[in-house]
Structure 1
Amino acid sequence: MIITVSRQFGSGGREVGKRLADALGLTYYDKELVTEISNHTDLNESYVSSVLESGGFRNYAFTFGRTMPFVSTTPAPVTDVLVAQQKIIKAIGEKGNCVIVGRSADVILKDFKPFRLFIYADNDSKIARCRARAPEGEHYTDKQMIRRFKEIDSGRRKLHDLLGVHPWGDKAGYDLMINTTNVNIKAIIPALAEYIKNSTK
């Protein structure tokens, strides 16, 4: 079983993924992928994260082959990150029994037929969730946080749409979409895990 979790920033997608992995006894991958890509490319983790999460590649032109991306006009480090991402995620997919959060895993692993989740929420819920987990002393206005949501989601959409057929967030590209607005994520996991098990038999 492979589950991929695409998510809007602040919607609780990471929590959904981690709790699902625990409930189903699957290996969980999220930020660990950034570390693996960093080790594979000898590039700084913050740089790798900026490419994959914040659209650090967005000013460059890309062309992609069928099995592995060929990046024609990008700096070599960006190319290295994108190629390493596909290699590492496909290697994880071959092992199976995992939950992967983000990193366009739903399209990279399309041939493995993963169960594809998309998690979203309204801005008020995302703001509340981000404030609840924010480091002490971190203060952003609502407008600043909404701007940040848009920036991060724009980067995620950019990379996903370069690789995928369906646009990021398009219901046609997912098996289940969950609105976590005012939802206790922990409470829905047992039913969600059971639904996924029944759907992947």
Structure 2
Amino acid sequence: MAQTKYVITISRQFASMGRSIAQELARQLGVEFYDRDIVEAAASRMGLPVSTISDNEESAGNLYYKRIYPLGTGFKSMQDEIFMVQRNIIRDLAARDSCIIVGRCADAVLSDYDNLLNVHVFAPYEDRFRNCVERLEMDEKTARRMIDKVDRSREAYHKEYGGGDAYVNCHFMVNSSVFGIEGSATLLAGIARQKFHL
């Protein structure tokens, strides 16, 4: 009997360790994990540097990125085009095999997908601040600035392209400060096994 093909999407607050949880979850379930790979694939398809994709992909609400892109693209901005390319890549990955996809409004992009589990990872501010300083080795001023900046960018991006807040399509939310990276991944692996009959 063929195993069910499924996709788990993970949205996350900055420094909630959502990416690390996704990696550990992928290891526990024995499936592929995609995050920066999507940026690299988009850059390759568009013939642009990876840095250009990174700078544009989470800048919704920034008027600078609302400028008109070269005529004839059919998109109102470079950001719109990048989103559409990443959308196609995400759908291609989901069609290929079971996987875990981090960010990039994958929850909304795959809303019509049959076997989907949308997870949102969060943590209290002070725990995320501690992760920035201790795990990501930022100074305190940079840590506070990055939490504010990245959270606002991700929220604006999801409102622009995902139809609302990052948890609007969420099936399950996990506080990573309670369960830790491995514990959160183990908890989610159990939910996935139950939901997808693995």
Which of 71, 75, 95 is the aligned partner of 1:71?
Answer: 75
**Residue in structure 2 matched with residue 67 of structure 1 by the alignment:** none
**Residue in structure 1 matched with residue 71 of structure 2 by the alignment:** none
Determine if the alignment matches structure 1 residue 146 to structure 2 residue 112: no
**Residue in structure 2 matched with residue 112 of structure 1 by the alignment:** 113
Which of 143, 164, 167 is the aligned partner of 2:165?
Answer: 167
Determine if the alignment matches structure 1 residue 186 to structure 2 residue 182: yes
> Following the alignment from structure 1 to structure 2, what is the Cα–Cα distance between the partners of residues 165 and 103?
12
Determine if the alignment matches structure 1 residue 156 to structure 2 residue 158: no
Q: Deviations over 1:171-197 (max 9, x none)?
A: xx2110011125322134333201221
CA contact (8 A) 2:43 2:53 kept: yes
Alignment of 1:131-142 (within 5 A): 131-134=133-136, 139-141=138-140
**Residue in structure 1 matched with residue 3 of structure 2 by the alignment:** none
> Following the alignment from structure 1 to structure 2, what is the Cα–Cα distance between the partners of residues 195 and 23?
12
Letter in 1 for 2:131: R
> Following the alignment from structure 1 to structure 2, what is the Cα–Cα distance between the partners of residues 45 and 78?
13
**Residue in structure 1 matched with residue 70 of structure 2 by the alignment:** none
1:110 is paired with a residue whose SS is: coil
> Following the alignment from structure 2 to structure 1, what is the Cα–Cα distance between the partners of residues 133 and 194?
35
Shift in Å at residue 116 of structure 1?
A: 0.2
**Residue in structure 2 matched with residue 98 of structure 1 by the alignment:** 99
Number of aligned pairs? 185
1:28 is paired with a residue whose SS is: strand
2:177 is paired with a residue whose SS is: coil
Letter in 2 for 1:93: A
CA contact (8 A) 1:41 1:80 kept: no
1:169 is paired with a residue whose SS is: coil
Determine if the alignment matches structure 1 residue 41 to structure 2 residue 49: no
Q: CA RMSD in A?
A: 2.3
**Residue in structure 1 matched with residue 82 of structure 2 by the alignment:** 81
Q: Percent identity at matched positions?
A: 26
**Residue in structure 1 matched with residue 33 of structure 2 by the alignment:** 28
> Following the alignment from structure 2 to structure 1, what is the Cα–Cα distance between the partners of residues 61 and 96?
29
CA contact (8 A) 2:22 2:185 kept: no
> Following the alignment from structure 2 to structure 1, what is the Cα–Cα distance between the partners of residues 162 and 7?
18
CA contact (8 A) 2:60 2:160 kept: no
Determine if the alignment matches structure 1 residue 58 to structure 2 residue 56: no
Letter in 2 for 1:179: N
CA gap of 1:183–1:115, structure 2 versus 1, over 3 A, is: same
Gaps of 5+ in 2: 1-5, 68-73
> Following the alignment from structure 1 to structure 2, what is the Cα–Cα distance between the partners of residues 148 and 28?
24
Determine if the alignment matches structure 1 residue 16 to structure 2 residue 21: yes
